[in-house]
Amino acid sequence: MKTCILKLTNIIIGMYKVFIKRFFDFFLALLGIIFLSPILITVIIILLFANNGKPFFFQVRPGKNEKLFKIIKLKSMNDKKGEDGELLPYEYRITKIGAFVRKYSLDEIPQLINVLKGDMSIIGPRPLLVQYLTLYNDYQKRRHEVKPGITGWAQVNGRNAISWKQKFEYDVWYVDNQSALLDLKIVIKTIKKVILKEDVNKDVNLNMPVFRGTDDE
């Protein structure tokens, strides 16, 4: 009896991963864009003035199976450069409206378009920088076995306040334990954290440090 229940559970989880999750991703992303459009349009207009006509930030990121795609976010930093021609550090480029946008995670809203396109999921490991691909060990690479998400298990368990090592452990744990109930739990915890502004950097100098390899903590 227990064996039959286990097999049925595995079948249901498998169907969720392959078919049902994509349906809910598309439906929720479309609903989110419609519902959040007044906020999104307002913020875009403000950012048009704050960022010299550039309200969006585009960057290539690795997705499932390390397939590259272009992520869409609201632009929270300006493009000021130093005398050497390089972009200034985070704390010198974050704008007032950009800090507000990050505080309430509004910069993530355009990623709903990535979800509609199928590049991302609502729930999954966050898509990181392309240059990190060569730095992952075999265990950390497993985070790419699923589609990246707007929010994920690592985000609701510390976000930028945890080490890279712990972040990757959370990501791989999610890969191994993915289910509808877990995704629902992550959604609920994400909403709570956004409302309460938990794990959001209050000091602009606390942006997530650069990942430099498997020994990074």
Q: What pTM did the predictor assign?
A: 0.86
Q: pLDDT tens, 78-132?
A: 878 887 878 877 777 888 888 889 888 899 999 999 999 999 999 999 999 999 9
Give dist(CA 206, CA 50) in Å, integer. 23
Rg (CA), the chain: 18
Question: What SS3 class is residue 109?
Answer: coil
Give dist(CA 212, CA 217) in Å, integer. 10
Q: pLDDT tens, 145-183?
A: 999 999 999 999 987 788 999 999 999 999 999 999 999
CB count within 10 Å of CB 155 equals 25
Q: pLDDT tens, 8-21?
A: 666 777 788 888 99
Element (H, E) at 6: helix 2-15
Q: Answer whether 180's CB lies under 8 Å from 16's CB.
A: yes
Residue 207 confidence class, pLDDT cut points 50, 70, 90: low
